[in-house]
Amino acid sequence: MAGGIKKFVVGCFDDEAVLFPAVKKVRRAGYKIHDVYTPFPVHGLDHAMGLRETSIHTAGFIYGIAGTTTALTTISWIFTKDWPLNIGGKPHFALPAWIPITFELTVLFAAVGMVLTFCYLCQLSPFIKKHHFHLRATDDLFVMAIECTDKTNDAEVQAFLQNAGAKEINVQHAETGWWIGRYDREQKLYRD
């Protein structure tokens, strides 16, 4: 899904201790950080960037409850209504014996649901391709992409990033969304 082509000033940092103050400076200066790409989860960076807390765990809770309900309603319907089995004259509604399966389905629904939600929210799937601002963002660089508008003076932004400690700075035109593609093929979605 194309999100449109935009212009970015990209600054690469090689130390998270430099990145944090840089993020704060850039935000204070009023520039819009499109995203910061890091090789590992840098704790506190989401707060520094002013990102909202994720509510994926709430989704997980709801999926879990759905699993519990599915198990209990299905089993009780089968064993009390659809085909009541006489097992040694014991009650048809044998709740304690259903706890293991109920628990397993709770976990299964929560886990599968959460992973699918995670993939949906982050647009992760085989054959999905996105623009990568720097290949070393998955290796050892912390890559900050600043979105430019018509009014942005990108030379000024570049100087700003230089000042904030970026090791490598460039300007890129990039597609912001995702598209169907393969990583072994060059794919141009736009004409200059």
Partner 1 sequence: MSLLKYESQIREPLVDGNKDYHQVTEDIIRPIEMKPTRLWYIGFYISVALLLFGVYSIYREVTYGIGQWNLTKTIGWGWDITNFVWWVGIGHAGTLISAILLLFRQGWRTGVNRAAEAMTIFAVMCAGQFPIWHMGRVWMAFFVLPYPNSRGPLWVNFNSPLLWDVFAISTYFTVSLLFWYSGLLPDLATVRDRAKTKLRKLLYGVASFGWTGSTKHWQRHESLSLVLAGLSTPLVLSVHTIVSFDFATSIVPGWHTTIFPPYFVAGAIFSGFAMVQTLMIILRKVFMLEDYITLGHIEAMNKVIVLTGSIVGIAYITELFIAWYGQNPYEWYAFKENRANLFSPYGWSYWLMMFCNVVSPQMFWFKKLRRNIAFTFFMSIIVNIGMWYERFVIIVTSTYRDYLPSSWSTYYSPSIYEIGFYLGTFGLFFTCFFLFAKYFPVIAVAEIKSILKTTGESYKHKMTEIEKADSEKFYIEEVEHAH
Q: Which residues are at the interface with partner 1 (CB under 8 A)?
A: 16-17, 20, 35-46, 49, 51, 54, 56-57, 60, 64, 74-75, 78-79, 82-83, 85, 87, 94, 97-98, 100-101, 103-105, 107-108, 110-112, 114-115, 118-119, 121-130, 132, 135-140, 143, 178, 182-184
Q: Scan for tokens 């647009």, then name that residue.
A: 123
Q: Name the minimum Å distance from CB 29 to partner 1.
A: 19
Question: Is 137 or 148 the residue whose CB approaches partner 1 more closely?
Answer: 137
- Residue of 118, 10, 9, 8 whose CA lies nearest to 63: 118
Of 18, 53, 31, 43, give the one whose Cα is nearest residue 143. 18
Q: Which CB, 29 or 78, lies closer to partner 1? A: 78
Q: CA gyration radius for the chain?
A: 25
Pick between residue 94 and residue 171 the one whose CB is nearest to partner 1: 94
Close Cβ partners of 91 (under 8 Å, ≥ 6 residues apart): none
Residue 139 CA to residue 97 CA, distance in Å, equals 50
Q: Which amino acid does the sequence have at 180? A: I
Compute the least distance from the CB of residue 167 to partner 1, in Å. Answer: 13
Residue placing its CB nearer to partner 1 in the complex, 7 or 136: 136
Of 153 and 172, the one with the shorter C-beta distance to partner 1 is 172
Report helix, strand or coil for 129: strand
CA distance linking residue 114 with residue 116, whole number of Å: 5
Closest distance of CB 150 from partner 1, Å: 25
